[in-house]
């Protein structure tokens, strides 16, 4: 027995001593990173690319919350600094800029039943979050809440105090602006129903239903529905004692429908009694929601679900091993990688069924059918990360996109659960799929993809859903101001055209690869139309009028911080001027030469014209490296930006994570590679923050296997590259092709504290 004790002590010592080295990737993840500073991530429980997520909801019901979902533009179910919790939302979005989903709010309470969230919410303490698990304790009720999830189902474990415990499912309130739902009692312990969702980014037609089945594992003493009654006028208002109130339906057991409805279970609880609640969801049917729940949780076993979710996360995050760097950098890094593995998420049920794109029909898939494509964001770096590290996922995502085209005739732009929301602009599917193809992942129907691309690139405006202003673009090479917006301030013509140039450049590359030389020439020519917007007077891009003249007066700084500026969408001319990633050399040329380019770009950083959270300019720091002797500026700026904006704290992401785009920027930047030209199979190199990075490539797609990136840091100040070795040979360039990197298998940076000018 004594011996046994020693063994335990020895074990603890091992953990303490070798803990740092032995730590698993998942252990570095801090789901609270990105939960404030408008990064709109959340600490909820979710599996990698899971359809289900279970997220503490704290953005309504009380002045205790600093940020209220209705008091301002708000798009997250959770805010780190808020205090008033009103339940767990089921199925949410992470890192998006518009309010959507975040419904089916499950709340445990104690004592007399109250179904008004303005009353039943509670402050909380003791928050804990690791991948796949979240817990807190509700101050008002002394209830401990724990949640975890599978791909399509959730399980909550609530530990009650002695007395009456209640479990409320609020189907009315949530983050979405869409309303309406149905719930039906199936048995004492099971309910089913659906909730309408959609209108993402105020696209009023992008509506879809979510179906659910929910079970409790203890027989309740009472169950019932509630519905907030409309405010009635006249005689009705005088007589109806429930007028404008939450009415309880205590003796009703059939379908309930309406705008603000809910269901409650009440229990007699012993001290410390645990009640578990399971929910399955589906976007196809209630039957599928039930099948999903039963398949993924054949028993009620919270700890097992939690363990599986955790292990799944560790496996997913283990595609990269990093060594060196600080503890904080490792936390930042793996949390960023975690954030890239949330969206796109799977859409299909366990039986393979999913809602077809823009259709009431149901399809069936063998692989994963993905949804939540925030492509204007993610085409810049997220899909490049998938192509490199998760080629299996990326291929399923590409196949899903092509299926969407087959189903309704257009590639996705900002697809959400089978509906196209038309958020932001451009034709981002082209660079995503081209990039994938050119990097050698080709197990998809590229001809159909190409057909879709040519369709959106050439169909006249009136019939063109993807590029509704393509007519002048095709005729003159640019889009003049004032074609679509009611007033100039809401016009995004330059932003639109810049996206088309990037897409058409990618399309020309794909055409080349497919042997379509004439197409390639045509699209390459179109891709250079950006020069129409270049104003020598201001040295920036500048909106043009229909008569060919530049917009006057013009302020290139207008449009920062989400104010409106004519021609530019959510940004200033400075945020867009360098966004011709496929034509950097030519851009330098029109600017007067490399030095003028570099000086101007340096001014963008020096004069605070750079927005680290705005997609069009996030590749700016890498553009220095296109010019001889200027790569140190890339290394300097990337190091500075990482240091300044990425932190192992809740405010550790510079802004909206945009479905992983900010996180992918950090990941690539921290390992020394960045894909600064979407659709081009290359990376720009910079200084890694880690001494050693191992990319465990999937040998089914990359038979050469792991890539090791080494960068022994002499000090924290060793941020400059003095030499590069690729595949054991000196490498002179700061750009490397995907194929060469894969083939080389090793990449070594020799670092110094003083920057090199050559």
The encoded tokens of residue 492 equal 């995004």
Smallest distance, its own copies to C-beta of residue 36, A: 19
Smallest distance, its own copies to C-beta of residue 196, A: 6
Burial of 186 (0-12, 13-18, 19+ CB in 10 A): middle
CA atoms 323, 326, 330, 336: torsion sign: negative
Smallest distance, its own copies to C-beta of residue 113, A: 15
Smallest distance, its own copies to C-beta of residue 227, A: 6
Q: What is the DSSP secondary-structure string of 307-354?
A: HHHHHHHHHHHTTEEEESS-HHHHHHHHHHHHHHTSSSEE---TTSEE
DSSP secondary structure letter of residue 568: B
Smallest distance, its own copies to C-beta of residue 74, A: 7
- Determine which helix (DSSP H) or strand (DSSP E) holds 170, and give its type and residue range: strand 163-170
Alpha helices in 322-443 (DSSP H): 327-340, 375-378, 382-389, 391-408, 429-438
Bridging pattern class, strands 181-187 and 190-198: antiparallel
Smallest distance, its own copies to C-beta of residue 427, A: 21
Residue 146 and residue 134: Cα distance in Å, rounded?
6
- Determine which helix (DSSP H) or strand (DSSP E) holds 641, and give its type and residue range: helix 631-645
Check: CB of residue 478 under 8 Å from CB of residue 552.
no
Smallest distance, its own copies to C-beta of residue 359, A: 7
Tell me the HSE value of 339 on the side-chain side, using a 13 A CA sphere.
35
The nearer residue to its own copies, 247 or 307, going by C-beta atoms, is 247
The nearer residue to its own copies, 98 or 693, going by C-beta atoms, is 98
The nearer residue to its own copies, 224 or 650, going by C-beta atoms, is 224
The nearer residue to its own copies, 41 or 284, going by C-beta atoms, is 284
Smallest distance, its own copies to C-beta of residue 568, A: 20
CA-closest candidate to residue 132, choices 153, 109, 159, 103: 153
The nearer residue to its own copies, 194 or 578, going by C-beta atoms, is 194
The nearer residue to its own copies, 258 or 412, going by C-beta atoms, is 258
CA-closest candidate to residue 687, choices 615, 624, 634, 740: 634
The nearer residue to its own copies, 186 or 300, going by C-beta atoms, is 186
Smallest distance, its own copies to C-beta of residue 422, A: 12
The nearer residue to its own copies, 43 or 209, going by C-beta atoms, is 209
Smallest distance, its own copies to C-beta of residue 470, A: 22
Bridging pattern class, strands 707-710 and 746-752: parallel
Tell me the three state secondary structure of residue 245: coil
Name the site residues for its own copies (rule: CB under 8 A): 70-74, 99, 177, 179-182, 185, 194, 196, 199, 202, 204-205, 207-209, 227, 229-230, 232-236, 239-242, 247, 249-259, 261, 355, 358-360
Residue 124 and residue 82: Cα distance in Å, rounded?
10
The partner residues of 163 in beta bridges, in order of sequence, read 269
Strand order in the sheet with 222-228: 45-46, 53-56, 88-90, 103-110, 163-170, 261-269, 222-228, 246-249
The nearer residue to its own copies, 236 or 536, going by C-beta atoms, is 236
The nearer residue to its own copies, 182 or 385, going by C-beta atoms, is 182
């Amino acid at each position: 027995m004594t011996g046994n004790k020693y063994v335990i002590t020895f074990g603890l010592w091992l953990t303490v001593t070798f803990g740092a080295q032995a730590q698993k990737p998942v252990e570095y993840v801090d789901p609270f990173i990105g939960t404030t500073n408008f990064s709109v991530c959340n600490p909820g429980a979710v599996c990698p690319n899971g359809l289900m997520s279970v997220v503490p909801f704290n953005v309504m019901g009380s002045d205790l919350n600093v940020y209220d979902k209705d008091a301002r533009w708000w798009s997250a179910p959770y805010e780190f600094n808020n205090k008033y919790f009103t339940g767990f939302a089921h199925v949410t979005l992470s890192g998006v800029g518009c309010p959507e989903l975040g419904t089916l709010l499950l709340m445990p309470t104690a004592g007399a039943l109250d179904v008004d969230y303005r009353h039943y919410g509670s402050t909380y303490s003791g928050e804990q979050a690791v991948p796949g698990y979240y817990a807190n304790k509700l101050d008002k009720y002394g209830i401990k809440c724990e949640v975890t999830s599978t791909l399509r189902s959730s399980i909550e474990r609530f530990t009650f105090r002695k007395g009456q415990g209640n479990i409320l499912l609020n189907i009315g309130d949530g983050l979405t602006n869409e309303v309406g739902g149905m719930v039906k009692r199936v048995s004492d312990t099971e309910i089913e129903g659906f909730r309408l969702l959609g209108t993402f980014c105020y696209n009023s037609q992008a509506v879809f239903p979510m179906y659910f089945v929910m079970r409790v594992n203890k027989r309740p003493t009472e169950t019932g529905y509630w519905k907030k009654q409309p405010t009635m006028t006249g005689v009705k208002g005088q007589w109806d004692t429930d007028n404008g109130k939450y009415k309880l339906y205590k003796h009703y057991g059939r379908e309930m429908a309406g705008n603000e409805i809910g269901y409650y279970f009440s229990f007699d609880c012993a001290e410390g009694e645990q009640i578990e609640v399971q929910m399955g969801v589906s976007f196809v049917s209630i039957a599928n929601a039930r099948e999903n729940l039963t398949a993924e949780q054949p028993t009620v076993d919270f700890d097992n679900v939690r363990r599986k979710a955790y292990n799944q996360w560790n496996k997913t995050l283990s595609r990269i091993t990093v060594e060196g760097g600080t503890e904080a950098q490792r936390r930042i890094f793996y949390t960023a990688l975690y954030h890239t593995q949330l969206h796109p998420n799977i859409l299909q049920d366990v039986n393979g069924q999913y809602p077809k794109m823009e259709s009431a029909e149901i399809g069936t898939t063998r692989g994963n059918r993905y949804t939540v494509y925030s492509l204007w964001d993610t085409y810049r770096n997220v899909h490049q990360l998938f192509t490199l590290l998760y080629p299996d996922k990326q291929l399923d995502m590409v196949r899903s996109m092509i299926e969407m085209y087959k189903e309704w005739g257009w590639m996705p732009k900002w697809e959400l659960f089978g509906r196209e929301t038309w958020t932001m602009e451009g034709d981002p599917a082209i660079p995503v799929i081209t990039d994938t193809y050119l990097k050698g992942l080709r197990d998809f129907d590229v001809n159909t993809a190409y057909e879709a691309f040519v369709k959106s690139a050439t169909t006249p405006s009136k019939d063109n859903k993807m590029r509704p202003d393509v007519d002048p673009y095709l005729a003159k090479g640019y889009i003049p101001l004032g074609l679509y917006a009611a007033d100039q301030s809401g016009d995004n013509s330059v932003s639109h055209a810049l996206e088309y140039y990037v897409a058409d450049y990618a399309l020309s590359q794909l055409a080349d690869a497919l042997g379509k030389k004439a197409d390639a020439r045509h699209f390459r020519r179109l891709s250079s139309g950006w020069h129409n917007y270049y104003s020598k007077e201001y040295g920036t891009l500048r909106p043009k009028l229909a008569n060919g003249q530049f917009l006057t007066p013009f302020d290139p700084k207008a449009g920062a911080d989400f104010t409106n500026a004519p021609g530019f969408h959510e940004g200033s001319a400075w945020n867009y001027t360098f966004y011709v990633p496929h034509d950097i050399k030519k851009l330098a040329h029109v600017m007067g030469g490399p030095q003028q380019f570099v000086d101007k770009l340096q001014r963008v950083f020096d004069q605070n014209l750079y927005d680290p959270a705005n997609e069009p300019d996030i590749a700016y720091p890498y553009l220095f490296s296109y010019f001889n002797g200027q790569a140190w500026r890339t290394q300097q700026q990337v190091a500075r930006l990482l240091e300044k904006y990425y932190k192992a704290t809740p405010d550790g992401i510079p802004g909206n994570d945009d479905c992983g785009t900010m996180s992918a920027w950090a990941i690539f930047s921290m390992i020394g590679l960045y894909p600064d030209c979407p659709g081009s199979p290359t990376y720009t190199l910079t200084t890694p923050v880690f001494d050693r990075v191992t990319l465990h490539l999937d040998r089914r797609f990359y038979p050469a296997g792991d890539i090791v990136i080494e960068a022994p840091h002499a000090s924290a100040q060793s941020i400059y590259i003095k030499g590069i070795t690729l595949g054991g040979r000196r490498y002179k360039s700061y750009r490397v092709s995907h194929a060469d990197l894969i083939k080389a298998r090793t990449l070594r940076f020799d670092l110094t504290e003083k920057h090199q000018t050559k």
